[in-house]
Structure 1
Amino acid sequence: MTSGETDQGHGLGEEPAHTARRLTVAVISHKPYRMPGDPMYMPLHVGAALHPDVLPDWVQDNTGDNISDRNAKYSELTGLYWLWKNDDSDYQGIVHYRRHFGTANRLAHILRRDRFERVVGGEEILGLLENHDIILPHRRNYYIETIYSHYAHTFPGEQLDTTRDIIAEQQPKYLPAFDTLMKGKKAHMFNMFVMSREKLGEYCSWLFAILEELERRTDDSAYSAFNARYPGRISEMLMDVWLNTREYSYAELPVVSPETVNWVKKGYSFLQAKLVGKKYEESF
C-alpha cells in the first residue's frame, strides 16, 4: 500500500459513508498517509472545504452537515463533527494518521517490526466494548506539572479560565470534575476514543456547545495559525470532565505512532516554556 492509498472500501464511489455499520473508526488526516488495514478504519479528510484537492479519494468532511471550513481552529474536531452528524455506525471513534490505538497484546509490540501491525483491530475493539462504555488511550502523566500549569506554561492560560467560566455558567454539574482535572497531573489526551453512537452524540452535543461559546468569548484576532487551534487543544482536556461526571466505564489501550517522536526537541521546548516563559510555536 503506497502513501495515501487505502483498501478499506470507504473511499468515494464505493460504500456510502452513511451506510449503517457495526463499527467505524475515522482516521483523521489532512494529507496522504498510510492507513491501517482493518476494515473498521475510514480515512477521513479534514479541512476539505479549505483544501478540496488534497485527498479526493477519501471521505470528505465537507459533505452533509459539517463544519469543515472551521478546520483551522477545530483541527480534528471537524472530522469528529462530521462523524457525529453523518455516520450511522453502532460504534464510532476517531484516531489520527500519526496516532493509533495499539493492540493490548504486549508481545505484538515487541515482535512486530512494522508499527502498523501493532494497531488494534475491530474484533479486539468490539470485545472491549462488551464490558466497557468507552475506549481511550492510556492516560498521559505530566509528572512535575498539573494539567492547568502545563497548559498555562505552553499556551494562553486564560483560555482555560474562560472555559471554566462557561462550564460554571452553563454546565455547573461538570465543574467539580473540571477543577479536579486542572489540579491533577494525568489526563486522557489526543482526542482518541471509541464509543457507542448514542454516547458519541451525547458527548459531541455537550462538547461543541462549550467550544463554540469559548470561541465567541476569545479575541483571537492576533493569534498565529498555530495558536488559532485552541478549540481543538482545549477539547482534549474536556473528555475526562465529561467522562468522570457521567461515570462511564472505560478501557485503555496504548498509543502507536508510525513516526518516531523527537523527545529531545519536545523536552527542550517544554523546559523553555516552564523556565523562561516561551510558549509553544509548533507541533511536535
Structure 2
Amino acid sequence: MKILIAMHKAYPVSKLAGYLPIQVGAELSDQALIQDCVPDNTGKNISRLNTYYNELTALYWAKYNLQDEDIIGLVHYRRYFGNRASHDLNDVLTEETIRSTLKEVDVIVPKKRDYFIETQEQHYLNAHAELPYLTMKEVLAESYSEYSATFDMIARSTKAHLFNMSIMRQADFQLYTDFLFGVLEEVAQRVDMTQYSGQDQRSLGFLAERLMDVWILTNNKTIREFPLVTTEKTNWLDKGTQFLLRKFLPNMKKRTHF
C-alpha cells in the first residue's frame, strides 16, 4: 500500500506505515529536494507540468511507478483522511483501517463539500477561468460520452467530493487514472494553459476535482466517506466571505484557494 502525501515544501507529515511523502513539481524546483521525500520526476512522469496539474503529477507518477502496490491513494501534506475531523496527525487512517474498509467498498473519499446556495458548476465558474471547464464538457460529450450525463447531473448538484483525494485498489486506480488523464490531456491539447497566470494556470488540477465523482458514479463504484484531518486550521469567516463575494460580485479579484 502506498498513500502518497503530496508536498511542495518541508513540513511535518504522518509517519504511519503505508504513507509515502512525494515532492510534486520536483523537475521545476531550483531548490534541494525535500528530505525524506520521493521526487515525482523519476521514471515515467509529468513533473514538469506541475504548474498545470497540481498534485496530479504525484498520481501520474504512481500510475506508472507503483504498479506493484495493492492499494494507491493520495492525500496532502496539510490534509489527510481521518477517523474523526481534527487537526491531530494521531487521527490519520491507519493501514489496517484502510485495508479493512476496501474489503467492503471500492473507494475511500473525503466527506462531501456542500455549497448550498450554488451548484458545483456555478461554484467552479465563479472561482476559475471558464474556458478549460467548458472545454472539459466538450471533451466528455465528444470523446467520453458514457460519462457526459453523469457529469451534467453532478454539475447541477451542490455537493461533491473534492481535493483530488481518494484511496482505492490498484485495478480501480488504473481505470480511474486512464479516464482522468485521458480527459485532461485532451483539454490541454485544446486550451493553451500558458495563457493563464496565478491559480488559473493550475486549471487542470482543479478540473480533476470535478471528474472523480463522475468516474465513481458512472462505473457504479461503492464509496465510504471519511472526515479530514487538517494540520492547519481554516479561517471559515474569511473563506465564507470570499465565497459570497465571488458569487455576488463576480467581477472582483478572486480569492479561492488559501
Q: Residue 230 of structure 1 aligns to a residue in which SS? A: helix
Match of residue 27 from structure 1:
5
Which residue identity is paired with 2:73? G
The match for 2:25 among 47, 50, 54 is 47
Distance in 2 between the 1:231 and 1:56 partners? 28
Q: Map of 1:58-97 to 2, 5 A cutoff? A: 58-87=37-66, 88-97=68-77
Which residue identity is paired with 2:22? L
Compute the displacement of 1:279 (Å): 4.9
Measured at CA, do residues 98 and 222 of structure 1 come closer, stay the same or move farther in structure 2, by a change above 3 Å?
same
Which residue identity is paired with 2:70? D
Indicate if the aligned counterparts of 1:154 and 1:279 stay in contact, CA closer than 8 A.
no
Give the unaligned 5+ runs of structure 2.
none
Q: Residue 130 of structure 1 aligns to a residue in which SS? A: coil
Q: Residue 109 of structure 2 aligns to a residue in which SS? A: strand
- Does residue 99 in structure 1 map to residue 70 in structure 2? no
Q: Map of 1:175-254 to 2, 5 A cutoff? A: 175-254=148-227
Indicate if the aligned counterparts of 1:226 and 1:281 stay in contact, CA closer than 8 A.
no
1:169-202 Cα shifts (integer Å, max 9, x gaps): 1010101100000000111101111101111111
Which residue identity is paired with 2:140? I
Measured at CA, do residues 157 and 28 of structure 1 come closer, stay the same or move farther in structure 2, by a change above 3 Å?
same
Distance in 2 between the 1:34 and 1:208 partners? 30
Measured at CA, do residues 189 and 282 of structure 1 come closer, stay the same or move farther in structure 2, by a change above 3 Å?
closer
Distance in 2 between the 1:235 and 1:252 partners? 18
Distance in 2 between the 1:120 and 1:72 partners? 29
Which shifted more, 116-125 or 48-57?
A: 48-57
Q: Residue 183 of structure 2 aligns to a residue in which SS? A: helix
Query: How many aligned residue pairs are there?
Result: 255
Indicate if the aligned counterparts of 2:242 and 2:255 stay in contact, CA closer than 8 A.
no
Indicate if the aligned counterparts of 2:10 and 2:35 stay in contact, CA closer than 8 A.
no
1:68-98 Cα shifts (integer Å, max 9, x gaps): 0000110100000001110121011010001
Indicate if the aligned counterparts of 1:153 and 1:279 stay in contact, CA closer than 8 A.
no
- Higher Rg: 1
Indicate if the aligned counterparts of 2:242 and 2:256 stay in contact, CA closer than 8 A.
no
Q: Residue 198 of structure 2 aligns to a residue in which SS? A: coil
Indicate if the aligned counterparts of 2:21 and 2:36 stay in contact, CA closer than 8 A.
no
- Does residue 134 in structure 1 map to residue 134 in structure 2? no
Ranked by relative contact order (alpha carbons within 8 Å, sequence separation 6 or more), the top structure is 2
Which residue identity is paired with 1:93? G
Q: Residue 124 of structure 1 aligns to a residue in which SS? A: helix
Compute the displacement of 1:56 (Å): 4.5
Indicate if the aligned counterparts of 1:102 and 1:254 stay in contact, CA closer than 8 A.
yes
Which residue identity is paired with 1:98? R
Measured at CA, do residues 162 and 244 of structure 1 come closer, stay the same or move farther in structure 2, by a change above 3 Å?
same
Distance in 2 between the 1:255 and 1:141 partners? 15
Distance in 2 between the 1:194 and 1:221 partners? 31
Distance in 1 between the 2:253 and 2:156 partners? 21
- Does residue 145 in structure 1 map to residue 118 in structure 2? yes
Which residue identity is paired with 2:53? Y
Compute the displacement of 1:160 (Å): 1.9
Measured at CA, do residues 279 and 216 of structure 1 come closer, stay the same or move farther in structure 2, by a change above 3 Å?
farther
